[in-house]
Structure 1
Amino acid sequence: MTANYENHPPLGKKKLIMVMGGLMVGLLVAAFDYSIMGTTMPQIINSLQGMEYYAWPFTAYMLTSTISLILFGKLSDIYGRKHVLILGIIIFIVTSVLCGFSTSMLQLIIFRGLQGIGGGILLSLPFTVIGEIFSPRERAKYMGILGSVFGVADVLGPILGGVITDTWGWRWVFFVNVPIGIMAVTIILYSLPNFKLPDVKKVIDYGGIVTFTLALSALILALTLAGEGGYSWNLIAGLILLSGVSFTLFVWAEKKAVEPILPLHLFKNSIFNVSSVESFLAAALMFSGVIYVPLFAQEVLGMSATHSGLIMIPMLFSLTLASIITGQIIAWTGKYKKLVIAEFIITGIGVVLLATMNADTPYYLLILYSTVLGIGSGMAYNLFNVAVQNAFPLREIGIVTASMRFFRNIGTIVFVPLFGYIMNFTLARATALTTNSQALVLSIQNIFLVAIVLALAGLAMAFFLEEIPLGGDEFVNPDGGEETNTPDMKGNY
């Protein structure tokens, strides 16, 4: 059964444009952070010393942002999107200033960890808001536009990072977030109603928060230490054991919680389960190209860092364009399953082509192959957000949207060190038998061979994805019965 669902809450066209602008600016702050830091870290290391801690600012940020995705996705269901989103931007601004004033690597690692809390909020809540102010079919179109921010950040981030660092110094990479963040807060404060659900109990799941944080922290630390090498396997095994025990306690806590941070009944929905796995795999496939295409260009083809960065622009541009076009197609057809199948076919072709690279591969083929991967990866940006938002009632849009970003992050956390291990393992054995360049070619080929397996797994999973056609002016309540959660002028339902 269906009930009427307003395409646009009565915000007015001008306010809707302002809301989209505020969400895009807020998302841009967090998206730029990922891409800018890569070009800035060498200067930071030179200034603060501590090469042995090179990866830890990234790890600290990834850890806290991944945890905050779930925590604040649920808290926004309780206290409203607007308040939590503004809190996230403020946290990001304040911690950016702290990062900029860091005088040691330890301080930077701590402040980056705090900054990740704000980053996690900014990476998920904008997509939740889109799910609440637009009808199911329109969501895809506007999520495609919103998702294009990542492509813009990926293209411009490394360039801006280099320019800012060379002109004003690395500290300004953090300070520049302040005026942009203030702009986002101002726009959102003025234009966005505070969407919240009156039937959600204001009860904090402290047991779930503690056990979830401990389980994920131990897992990420174990994977990071294993990827870096040089650490005791007993320590790594102990962290994995701690993670497993904490996860078990987390499941127990969620069964008893009045308002669990991650409701276990979500996993009874096949669309949620398939979309979670697909998001996990899609992130791994994208990063196989983002990380190892530039490495191949520099170390095998002998390109400079600048030229290898320029080679990535077509891939990242195609990723952005694919995200927008995919959203438009879903808005036009109201369906998404065939696009998921097509996404993994295109991504699979991309990694198959990349797996054929060798020392004689011309640069234009490298651009072509990576662009194919970019098209497939761009299609995946918002497909699964659309699918899960359409499969659950409005009261759970916050947590299911955050969950998709969570599983993308987990895919990155798991496979980046795994790819690194495959490369190191291959190099250690192939270097004795061939030249260093040929050994590197072989190691990168092995990484893309693993990516082919992941693409095939994603394609197989895609056929199990149930499709609920997206409504236009109507909102479908998958649980049956009428969906009466339509926001009014104040954002209440």
Structure 2
Amino acid sequence: MNNNYAEKYQINRIMAGLMVGLLIAAFDYSIMSTAMPNIINSLNGIEFYVWPFSAYMLTSTISIIIFGKMSDIYGRKSILVAGIIIFIITSIMCGFSENMIKLIIFRGLQGIGGGILISLPFVMVGEIFSQNERAKYMGILGSVFGIADVLGPILGGVVTDTLGWRYVFFINVPLGIIALILIYNSIPNFIHDHVKKVIDYRGIILFTLGLSSMFLGLTFTGQVTKHPPALIVGLMLMSILMFITFVLVENNADEPIIPLHLFKNSIFNVSSIESFLASAIMFSGIIYIPLFTQGVLGMNAVNSGFIMIPMLLSLTVSSVVTGQIISKTGKYKSLVIIEFLITILGVALLASMDEYIPYYMLILYSTILGIGSGMAYNIFNVAVQNTFSIAEIGIVTASMRFFRNIGTIVFVPVFGFIMNFSLNASTIGSNTTQTLIVAIQNIFYLTLILALLGLIISLFLKETHLCESSSDKTDDDLKYDKTI
């Protein structure tokens, strides 16, 4: 930990505050999946089933970049506290929703706070800890996702069955208050004096319109039979136009929300692409292994959830261990190559599954994928944080989370399209089990291509050795402020 702060703030208090703040957002991803069947029954909204997820994902992805930049201007702690407050208030609004339309709107607002909570803790770890300590604490922080993925569905089921689905949202209130107290009292605020207090409104608007159009276009593509092709094409063309205009505007902006000079750095570019691919690969397993266990092997939802626990635990453990290894060795490139080799093995094995696979083999295959996916959680954060100055840690770390989300946004509908196309094009006949096996195999074949591509790209990742002293060379750019 940097000497300026080590005597004033204990590591355990800092990490507790950041982990609880991250936990309430991480839980939201996993706990909602269990509660949604009850929600749609209560609010009579089966046709809007995916939209509470979609609205949250869209706004959280947008807010990652926007508030990552805003935290450069107003301080990390200030924005993080604001994110918790937004998340608490909107959770209450979601809990009192009277129909699906209101829930979708409130979920969209909740995503603003969620995007802040899911990204800024990683920024603050990069800023508070020295280079050779960052990876270790990144791994510990990343383990929160594994905890949420394991406990979220179980907690969601218990809360929904005993108290009702509305308490899935209300439970965020006490957790949020705890996080607010911990963060307010234990974490320093960092302010960069050299950053102009200028908000790039044009960039924010264009970025939001571009990403929203792309998101809707891709989502509708996965449901092409329900939406006119002209609408999908129009949305994608609008997205392209907005992003082109965004690049032109950002080139001339005083304080762009995404500084385009970042893309001149090869480590940033490679890490962005790898984060994008790693997220898509991980979600192929998270989404389609449960479908395989239920649709092909005939498990119920509860047992299917238990099958996933080893994968999610291995994801958590590998995230922590990878951070420890980087912290001790100061190197990360070899781990990126190993990560994609493990991922390739896991995906290849999953693509070979059929209805005769023993349960223990399915657990083994999914666990291998979990190990590879967990390694990817923090490697690229460390790589870019080591490349850029302290003053740019906020935007580069937020960018890595942004590209992970984009990987999910792009490939989840692509996987859905492959699933629907495979089912419709099947020549197997009335054997629905065999048809579903082929469809899931096709998805894992695409995932295997993505993993191979990730391995090839990893060879181009440059490596700079982590060292204690280099982390302090830009501390003069940073002002410490205890206040909010």
RMSD of equivalent CA atoms: 1.3
Amino acid at match of 1:188: I
Deviations 1:23-55 (A, max 9, x none): 000000000000000010000000001111000
Is the Cα contact below 8 Å between 1:63 and 1:116 reproduced in 2? yes
1:3 is matched with which residue? Answer: none
The structure-2 alpha-carbon separation of the partners of 1:458 and 1:296, relative to structure 1 and needing over 3 Å to count, comes to same
Out of 20, 24, 39, the position equivalent to 1:25 is 20
Q: How far apart are the structure 2 equivalents of 1:165 and 1:8?
A: 47
Q: How far apart are the structure 2 equivalents of 1:45 and 1:331?
A: 46
Out of 212, 217, 223, the position equivalent to 1:217 is 212
1:412 is matched with which residue? Answer: 408
2:460 is matched with which residue? Answer: 464
2:52 is matched with which residue? Answer: 57
Amino acid at match of 1:388: V
The structure-2 alpha-carbon separation of the partners of 1:46 and 1:8, relative to structure 1 and needing over 3 Å to count, comes to farther
Q: How does 1:196-345 map to 2 (within 5 A)?
A: 196-229=191-224, 230-345=226-341
2:381 is matched with which residue? Answer: 385
1:348 is matched with which residue? Answer: 344
Out of 175, 184, 192, the position equivalent to 1:189 is 184
The structure-2 alpha-carbon separation of the partners of 1:37 and 1:431, relative to structure 1 and needing over 3 Å to count, comes to farther
- Once the two structures are TM-superposed, the CA of residue 8 in structure 1 deviates from its matched residue by 4.1
Out of 354, 359, 371, the position equivalent to 2:355 is 359
- Once the two structures are TM-superposed, the CA of residue 433 in structure 1 deviates from its matched residue by 3.5
1:403 is matched with which residue? Answer: 399
Q: How far apart are the structure 2 equivalents of 1:367 and 1:13?
A: 45
1:124 is matched with which residue? Answer: 119
Q: How far apart are the structure 1 equivalents of 2:293 and 2:421?
A: 21
Q: How far apart are the structure 2 equivalents of 1:369 and 1:13?
A: 46
When normalised by structure 1's length, the TM-score is 0.96
Query: Unpaired segments of 5 or more residues in structure 1?
Result: 1-5, 477-481
More displaced 10-residue stretch of structure 1: 371-380 or 297-306: 297-306
Deviations 1:438-471 (A, max 9, x none): 0100111111111110000000000000001111
Deviations 1:323-344 (A, max 9, x none): 0000000000000000000000
Deviations 1:332-386 (A, max 9, x none): 0000000000000000100000000001111110000000000000000000000
Q: Does 1:475 align with 2:466?
A: no
Deviations 1:452-492 (A, max 9, x none): 1000000000000000111124327xxxxx53437565369
- Once the two structures are TM-superposed, the CA of residue 227 in structure 1 deviates from its matched residue by 1.1
Deviations 1:49-92 (A, max 9, x none): 11110000111000000000000000000100000000000000
Query: SS of the residue aligned with 2:471?
Result: strand
Q: How far apart are the structure 2 equivalents of 1:491 and 1:384?
A: 29
Is the Cα contact below 8 Å between 1:9 and 1:489 reproduced in 2? no
Amino acid at match of 2:67: F
Amino acid at match of 1:161: G
Query: SS of the residue aligned with 1:196?
Result: strand
Q: How far apart are the structure 2 equivalents of 1:60 and 1:278?
A: 25
Query: SS of the residue aligned with 2:190?
Result: coil
1:101 is matched with which residue? Answer: 96
Q: How far apart are the structure 1 equivalents of 2:477 and 2:376?
A: 28
Deviations 1:395-445 (A, max 9, x none): 110000000000000000111111111111111111553511001001111
Q: How far apart are the structure 1 equivalents of 2:427 and 2:30?
A: 32
Amino acid at match of 1:180: L
More displaced 10-residue stretch of structure 1: 457-466 or 431-440: 431-440
Amino acid at match of 2:53: F
- Once the two structures are TM-superposed, the CA of residue 194 in structure 1 deviates from its matched residue by 1.1
Amino acid at match of 1:399: I
Matched positions, count:
482
- Once the two structures are TM-superposed, the CA of residue 14 in structure 1 deviates from its matched residue by 5.3
- Once the two structures are TM-superposed, the CA of residue 7 in structure 1 deviates from its matched residue by 3.0
Amino acid at match of 1:346: I
- Once the two structures are TM-superposed, the CA of residue 9 in structure 1 deviates from its matched residue by 3.2
Is the Cα contact below 8 Å between 1:9 and 1:487 reproduced in 2? no
Is the Cα contact below 8 Å between 1:27 and 1:123 reproduced in 2? yes
Q: How far apart are the structure 2 equivalents of 1:8 and 1:52?
A: 55
Q: Does 1:455 align with 2:451?
A: yes
Out of 159, 162, 167, the position equivalent to 2:162 is 167
Q: How far apart are the structure 2 equivalents of 1:486 and 1:208?
A: 25
Q: How does 1:21-100 map to 2 (within 5 A)?
A: 21-100=16-95
Runs of 4+, deviation exceeding 4 Å: 486-489
When normalised by structure 2's length, the TM-score is 0.98
The structure-2 alpha-carbon separation of the partners of 1:404 and 1:294, relative to structure 1 and needing over 3 Å to count, comes to same
- Once the two structures are TM-superposed, the CA of residue 18 in structure 1 deviates from its matched residue by 1.1
Query: Unpaired segments of 5 or more residues in structure 2?
Result: none
Q: How far apart are the structure 1 equivalents of 2:164 and 2:234?
A: 41
1:479 is matched with which residue? Answer: none
Amino acid at match of 2:451: A
